[in-house]
Structure 1
Amino acid sequence: MSSVHNTSDGRATKTRRVSIQADPNAAGYTARHGRRRSSLSNRFSFSRQRSSLRSGFNEDGSEMMSSFHRKIALEPTYKMAPDKPFRSSTVTSIIRSTLESQLNGETYSADRCRQICETLATIIRDRVKEEGYHRYKIVAHVTMGPMSGQTIRVASRCLWNHQLDSYASSVFQNRSLYAVGTVFGIYYD
C-alpha cells in the first residue's frame, strides 16, 4: 500500500507501507500464538501481533527511518594534519627491541618461520599503536630467513603523501637467522 502526501512547500512525497503476516497454512504454524514464529522474527524481535515496516518520507519532507536501517550521524572533522606525526626514530627503536627480545637465542626453522613472522608483526603493530598515532594506518611487515652466506635485499614501493606518511625499519641477525621488520605509517583523514 502506498500513498502520496503534499508538503508545505508544494512537493509531493510518497510513503509506502509494507505489512508482514504469517501464513496459517505454512509449516510451523501454532495455534497457541496464532501465527508462525520463525527464526527471522525471533532474531529481529517482531511483536507477536502483526508487524509493519514503513519507509519513505514524512509530511514535512524528512526521511522516515525503518526499524532495520539506522543512520549514524558523523560530522566531518576537516583535519588535514595529524595531532602527533609519525616518528620513524621511535618506531625503529620499537622494532629493534621487539626483534631482539623475541628472537634472541632463536634458531631458524622453516616450519615455524611463518608463525613467528605473523606473531612478530602483530606485536610490533600493537606496540606502535600504543604510541598514540591516531588517524594513521599502521602496517607491520616482518621477513625472516636463514643465515647461509647469501645476500638479500628487501624493498617496498608505496604511493603516499611524503609530508605525512613515513616508515621505519630495523634488521636483526644472529648465527642462525636474520629478520627485517618494517612499519608503514599512512595518514588517513
Structure 2
Amino acid sequence: MALLDDAPKLTIYENTYRTEPEEDAEFRAQKVSALLKGMLKDRLQGQSYDPVRGSQMSKQLADDIRERVKAMGFDRHKLVVHVTIGERKCQTYSCCSRCLWDTATDGFASESFQNETLFCSAQVFALYFE
C-alpha cells in the first residue's frame, strides 16, 4: 500500500479554448533576443573551439536558454531551441528554417556570436497552443 501512496499524482487539465495569448503572455522576440545575446556572450567569450566539448556546450546552452525563456512567462507556448557551435576557419555559415505557424501568436528570436576560433548560432521558436 505504501508504494501506491508514493506514486506521483496525475493532473488532468481541461481545454481553455483560448485561441490567442493574453496580452502579458505574448511572445516578445526583442526580450528573447536580448537574453540570447547576453547568454551567448557570457558563455562563449574567451572560449576556444574544441570539437569534443562543442557538442556538450551546444546541448547545455540550449537547455539553459530553454529554461531561461520559460522563466520569462511564455507558459502557453511550446518552445524549440536550436543551437549550433562550429569552428571558424575562413568559411561561410548559412542557416535557414521554415515553419507553418500563425504570425499573430507565434514567433521566433535569433542571435549569433563569434570570436577568433568559434561561431555560435542560436534560435528560439515559440508556438502558441491552447
The reply to whether TM is greater than 0.5 is yes
* Alignment partners' CA distance in 2, 1:72 and 1:123: 26
* 1:170 partnered with 2:116: no
SS where residue 186 of structure 1 aligns?
strand
SS where residue 55 of structure 2 aligns?
helix
* 1:77 partnered with 2:29: no
Assess if the C-alpha contact under 8 Å between 1:95 and 1:169 holds in 2: yes
Shift of 1:44: 5.7
Mark the CA change 1:102 to 1:42 in structure 2 (over 3 Å): closer, same or farther.
closer
SS where residue 145 of structure 1 aligns?
strand
* Alignment partners' CA distance in 1, 2:14 and 2:91: 54
Mark the CA change 1:74 to 1:130 in structure 2 (over 3 Å): closer, same or farther.
closer
- Aligned match for 2:88, one of 123, 147, 154: 147
TM-score with structure 1 setting the length: 0.61
Aligned match of 1:187: 128
Aligned match of 1:159: 100
- Aligned match for 2:29, one of 88, 91, 96: 88
5+ residue gaps, structure 1: 1-40, 46-70
Structure 1's consecutive aligned runs of 4 or more residues displaced over 2 angstroms after TM superposition are 41-45, 71-76
The answer to which structure has the higher helix fraction is 2
Aligned match of 2:72: 131
5+ residue gaps, structure 2: none
The answer to which structure has the higher strand fraction is 1
Assess if the C-alpha contact under 8 Å between 1:82 and 1:134 holds in 2: no
CA root-mean-square deviation: 2.0
Which of the pair has the greater relative contact order for Cα pairs under 8 Å at 6+ separation? 2
Say which one has the larger Rg. Answer: 1
- Percentage identity across paired residues of the two chains: 36
State how many pairs are aligned: 125
